[in-house]
Amino acid sequence: MAKRSIFLYLAIAVAIVWSIFPIYWFCRMAFLTPNEIRLFPQPFMPQVFEFGTFYNIFGYDYEYAAGYVSGASGQSNQIIRGVLNGLFISSIVTVITLLIVVPLAYVFARMEFRHKQKLLFAVLLAVALPPVSTLIPFYSMYVQLGLNGTRFGLIVVTLTITVPFVAWMLIGYFRNLPPIERLARIDGYSRTSCLLTLILPLAKSGIAVAAVIAFLFSWNEYTYALVLVNGTSANTLPTAISGFLGQYPEPGNLAASVIVTIIPPALFAYFLQRHVTEMSLVDPVR
Amino acid sequence: MAKIDLVKLRKTFGAYVAVEGLDLKINDGEFLIMLGPSGCGKTTTLNMIAGLEAASAGDILFDNVNVTDLPPHERNVAMVFQSSLLYPHISVRRNIETSLRHTTISDADRKRRIAEAAKMLEIEPFMDKLPGQLSGGQRQRVATAKAIVREPSVFLLDEPLSALDAALRLSLRSELVNLQKRLGTTTVFVTHDQVEAMTMGDRIAVMNSGRLEQIGTPDEIYNSPSTVFVAGFLGSPPMNLLEGDLAGGFFRRGGLAVPIQGPGGKVTLGVRPQDVTVTEATAPGALPVTVYAVEHLGRESVLIADDDRGNKVRALVAPGWHARVGEKLGIMPDPARCLLFDTNGARIYETVARAA
Amino acid sequence: MAVGSAGQAIQASTPSRKPRREMSDTRFAFLIGLPVLVFLMLVVAYPLGYAIYMSLHQIVFFGGYRANFVGLKNFIDVWSDKSFINAIWITLRFTVESVVLTMILGLCLASIMNQRIRMAGLVRTLLFLPWCVSSYAAGLMFGQLVRGQTGILTTISFTFGGTQGVDLMGRATVVEVLAVANAWLMAPLVAFFLLANMKTIPKRLYDLAAIDRLTAWETFRYVTLPPLQFTLFVFASITTVLSMKMFDMILIMTGGGPGTASATLTYQIYKRSFKDLNLGYGAAMSFYLLFFILGATFLIYLVWGRRVSR
């Protein structure tokens, strides 16, 4: 038994290193001094942990203990705006996605109707569309409609990613709920009240997971944002970060802002792992 | 309480015919079993009575009122589903309460009815638990309580015991029958289990491939099956069905010769295992068989043997009876207890058995 | 209803054949699904239509915008374009490696999380972390992790007395690095669903396996794996689609390089459309990509999904 548990803890250690080391190696730069960053080879760990770069990206100067001052980043306006826009856009996208997808997935998962397979295929087609091929059409459409550089425009385009993808996942989830609609009909629930008062509370774990997935897709969306809102007032965090990749690379600030992008999803991840047993795609054993 | 009439009921799913031209009268207060193999249309019929599925053609009448197009809750039916389906996320009490959603009864009445149902089914200790925290048997009782609390005119059960273990099934069987007799509610009970059917029902309707094969009391169904399907489906151990020729006052098959009169030609002879005697292999007129196994059931034993065409033939023998596997024996049916069926599976009634 | 004519009264007295009927499935589905589908169709159909239009034209920007109808010329021309053929192979290599790695990693992570261990919540959260990283950030991270100048391998090599940097971003291994990064990114999601699925496997089966003295591997192979088939199939499809669509990570990490060593179809489409401004040609390529994606999913369904889907 002891042998097994040593093996197990070794496996856990390897898995954890595998999962967080790439993150660590990059984010470590946020704490390296400019001199350390220029070193070859690079050090495993920073000498001191100071949060100067975080002050910098949000527009404040910071005086290090060593005596030198790192100035506020020129990108800070974009970063602050990116965080606010990102939170705003992702929240709206999440809410709209759920409003759209929950009834849609429910209908596809639980009801039989004509042309269902064809419509499912349409959803699959929407999942399969590569953003890189719809960029130009969207760009030209947005220029004509005046939606370029607007948060509304980005919300609409992000919905085209979240809706089909989340729908695809939720359909499988809804399919596995027990067939309580039959019971509900005997008890005199209408279809709508059955969905609202019985299915929704029953499916709350799955819907919560769907919400997180929608939020993350929106929060992390880069390709459309780069073309449609980069450099405008509707800028989101990913595109703001790409500013650091430009002519004057600031690796420390870049790493600090990447850490900022990971924080909200990480909080979600902690929340998600507790709902893990609820998200099975197969029939639960009765 | 209601009597139910099904008139030329038909249900199709696309090209597939699930129920075909079903005529059935269910008497007021009766416990009717719908029995048949899976896919025979019995659950579809139940769903149509409940209103969960729309009939493709035909009518359903409750006390001569056409309810064919009424939604389920306006029919005043209660239903217990397979594996005792309940709302998994709300408490037992609220599960039972939802049955009374659309009634106009007072709050006090509502409480009283729930309390009565809970008492009757002995589920008071776990009224505030979630269905997932209960055992299969407890869930079954809750589902039953949920059904009776409405005081429905028709009580519909869809294989409610199938997910339970054997001992529990046995006790819940008599409990359900007792409850039904006390309440006197017209009940339709769907099952594929012939023991449940024989022990519980006032009458049994045997269905096969969407059609009604026979309806009658358990005694009629068992002793006087009207088709070869019913004959083979009911009874444990099952009836021996032997194909052969009827000519010159004898049913013949290989060495077997049973003196029986009837219209000549190809027929199937049916005889229950308790109506045959085991003889020497060489006995004249007996079916020569080879012993395959002997099952001891305690009160009796069953001989299972292969005949020369590879069919399994069963005979009831005394509990102490022994035979070696591979031993040659003869099987002799009692002509007076034999049933004949034509090639379409219909019973041939105009037969006269002669003394051997 | 108000008192009507004699005709109405007679109608009312005869038992009506069609009284208030419940809403049918079709009607309910229609009411709920139609607005959504119309929205989806609009925002999907317009770009799709526009892309079809572009793919049939040669679009010229210099000397004034012009779109000359060229029929299927773009669709035919790509086949004599070496960079397109090259991109197909790179995409195939990247996708197959990504999907296989993701499935294996997902199974490993899920198996580990399925053990009874202390601080299981913390372990799970840590193992889920890559999932929180966006694909562009993953591109940044792995780019920095394996590049000779900044990479961990260089640091390790020097620690053990090496004198040379180790760079995996070379022509030979760049696609594999991308696939590993992609698998690193997608595996937690797969593991998450596999774990949920593993939790539904009855514990009795493991007792039975112990009685039959199955080794750990046999237990995994014959007890754990079979019930996971459906989930594995679903995620093989999803990760195939996601891998074939992957763009931002590749753009940030390698920019298609070195040379064209990591120029997948998505990257080639980007390059043709945005750098060469050859919009019609890029659009034609993107239709091939779309067909490949649909074809690949369909193929997975044919050889695997039909057997395991209920």
Rounded to the nearest integer, the mean pLDDT of chain C is 82
Residues of C in contact with A29 (CB under 8 A): 144
Chains that touch C (3 or more CB pairs under 8 A): A, B
Q: Distance between CA B26 and CA B64 in Å, rounded?
A: 12
The torsion angle over the Cα atoms of residues C181, C185, C188 and C193, rounded to 10 degrees, is: -120
Q: Is the pLDDT assigned to residue C177 strictly greater than 80?
A: yes
Lowest mean pLDDT among A230-239, C5-14, C245-254, C256-265: C5-14
Local confidence pLDDT in tens for the 356 residues of chain B: 688 999 999 998 888 889 988 999 999 999 999 999 988 889 999 999 998 888 889 999 999 889 988 888 888 899 998 878 889 888 999 999 888 887 778 888 888 989 988 888 888 898 998 888 888 888 888 999 998 888 888 999 998 888 788 888 888 888 889 989 988 999 999 999 888 899 999 999 999 998 999 999 999 999 999 999 999 998 888 999 999 998 888 898 888 888 888 887 899 999 999 999 999 888 888 899 999 999 988 888 999 999 888 889 999 998 888 888 999 999 999 988 889 998 888 888 877 665 54
- In percent, how much of chain C has pLDDT > 90? 17
Domains and CATH numbers, chain B: 4-227 (3.40.50.300), 237-353 (2.40.50.140)
pLDDT of residue A17: 93
pLDDT tens for residues A154-163? 998 898 888 8
Q: Which is more confidently placed, A244 or C127?
A: C127
How far apart, in whole angstroms, are the C-alpha atoms of residue A196 and residue A203?
11
Q: Which two tokens stand for residue C276?
A: 């060469």
- Distance of alpha carbon C56 from alpha carbon C75, whole angstroms: 8
Mutant choice from B83, B85, B86, B102 vs A, greatest count of A C-beta within 10 A: B85
pLDDT, residue B314, reads 94
Which of residues A224 and C179 earns the better pLDDT score?
C179
From C23, which residue of chain B is nearest by alpha-carbon distance?
B71
Residue of C nearest to B51 (CA): C22
Count of structural domains, chain C:
1
Which CATH number fits the domain that encloses residue C217? 1.10.3720.10
ipTM of the complex: 0.83
Q: How many residues does chain A have?
A: 286
Q: Which of B52, B79, B85 sits opposite A178 (nearest CB)?
A: B85
**pLDDT score of B304:** 93
Tell if the CB–CB gap between C21 and B65 is shorter than 8 Å.
no
Asked if omega into B152 is within 30° of 0 (cis), the reply is no
Sort B214 into a burial class: Cβ within 10 Å, 0-12 / 13-18 / 19+.
buried
Query: For position A284, what pLDDT does the model report?
Result: 34
Partners of C22 on chain B (C-beta within 8 Å) are 71-72
**Closest alpha carbon within chain B to A191:** B71
Give percent helix, percent strand, percent coil of chain A, each to the nearest 5.
Answer: 70, 0, 25
Query: pLDDT-derived band of residue A13, with 50, 70 and 90 as boundaries?
Result: very high
Compare all CA atoms of chain C with the CA of B61 and give the residue at the minimum distance.
Answer: C15
User: Residue B89: which of A179, A182, A201 has the nearest Cβ?
Assistant: A201
pLDDT score for B353: 64
- Percentage of chain C surpassing pLDDT 70? 91
Residue A149's pLDDT band, with cuts at 50, 70 and 90, is: confident
Nearest C-alpha of chain A: how many angstroms from B99? 5
Q: Choosing among B13, B53, B89, B156, which should be mutated to test the A contact, i.e. which has the most A CBs within 10 A?
A: B89
Residues 6+ apart with CB under 8 A from A189: A197, A198, B101
Of the pLDDT bands very low, low, confident and very high (cuts 50, 70, 90), residue C145 is confident
Lowest mean pLDDT of A80-84, A255-259, B50-54, C43-47, name the range.
Answer: C43-47
Long-range contacts of C64-72 (CB under 8 A, 24+ apart): C67/C280, C70/C280
Report the sign of the C-alpha dihedral through residues C225, C228, C230, C235, in that order. Answer: negative
Best of A183, A196, A205, A207 to substitute, by most chain B Cβ atoms within 10 angstroms, is A183
Whether residue A281 is predicted with pLDDT greater than 70 in this model: the reply is: no
Residue by residue, DSSP assigns A52-120 as: HHHHHHTT--EE-TTS-EEPPPTTHHHHHHHHHHHHHHHHHHHHHHHHHHHHHHHHHHH---TTHHHHH
Split at pLDDT 50, 70, 90, the class of C273 is: confident
Structural domain boundaries enclosing C141: 83-308
Instruction: Note the Cα A65 to chain centre separation in Å.
Output: 36
Average pLDDT over residues C75-84: 87
Q: Report pLDDT for A125.
A: 74
Partner-chain residue, chosen from C132, C230, C238, that has the shortest CB–CB distance to A265: C132
Whole-angstrom distance, CA of residue C162 vs CA of residue B257: 98
First to last CA, chain C: 49
Residue C66: strand, helix, or coil: strand
3-state SS class at C242: helix
Report how far Cα A109 is from the mean position of its chain's Cα atoms. 25
Structure-block tokens of residue C301: 């369904």
**Smallest Cα distance from A61 to chain B, Å:** 54
Lowest mean pLDDT among A55-59, B109-113, C287-291, C294-298: A55-59
Does C2 have pLDDT greater than 70?
no
C-chain residues within 8 Å CB-CB of A274? 121
Cα–Cα distance, A238 to A227 (Å, whole number): 12
Substitution target from A176, A186, A193 for chain B, most B beta carbons within 10 A? A186
Ramachandran class of B328: left when φ > 0, alpha when ψ lies in -120 to 50, beta otherwise: beta
The answer to whether the CB atoms of A180 and B88 lie below 8 A apart is yes
Q: Which chains touch A (3 or more CB pairs under 8 A)?
A: B, C
Interval A218-228 mean pLDDT = 87
Look over chain A and give the mean of its residue pLDDT values, rounded to a whole number: 82
For residue A236, the one-letter residue type is T
**Percentage of chain A with pLDDT > 90?**
10
Tokens of A258: 């990447």
Query: Which ranges of chain C would DSSP assign to H, the alpha helix?
Result: 6-13, 25-55, 73-77, 82-113, 120-132, 135-146, 152-159, 174-198, 203-211, 216-219, 225-245, 248-253, 265-270, 279-300, 306-308
What type of residue sits at position B147?
A
pLDDT tens profile A94-148: 999 999 889 888 888 888 777 777 777 777 777 777 877 788 888 888 888 888 8
Instruction: Give per-residue pLDDT as tens, B122-136.
Output: 888 989 988 888 888
pLDDT in tens, C190-242: 888 888 888 878 888 888 888 888 888 888 888 888 888 888 888 898 899 88
By the CB < 8 Å criterion, does B298 face chain C? Answer: no
Instruction: Inform me whether the C-beta atom of residue A174 falls under 8 Å from chain C C-beta atoms.
Output: no
Residue carrying the six token digits 């199709």:
B12
Q: What is the pLDDT of residue A98?
A: 92
Task: Please tell me what DSSP assigns to residue B98.
Answer: G
pLDDT at site C18: 44
pLDDT at A217 over 90: no
Contact A189 B72 (CB under 8 A): no
Rounded Cα–Cα distance for residues C60 and B227 (Å): 82
Q: At CA C125, angle to CA A209 and CA C179, rounded to 5?
A: 85
Residue C28 belongs to a domain = no
* pLDDT recorded at residue C22: 60
Domain membership flag for residue C30 = no
Does A187 lie at the interface with B, CB-CB under 8 angstroms? Answer: yes
Task: Report pLDDT for A280.
Answer: 59
Measured distance CA(A102)–CA(B238) in Å, rounded? 51
Identify the closest residue of chain C to B66 by CA–CA distance: C15
Of these ranges, B233-247, B329-343, C92-106, C266-280, the one predicted with the greatest mean pLDDT is C92-106
- Residue B306 contacts by C-beta under 8 Å, 6 or more apart in sequence? B289, B290, B292, B312, B313
Here the tokens at position A204 are 């709350």
> Is B71's CB within 8 Å of C15's CB?
no
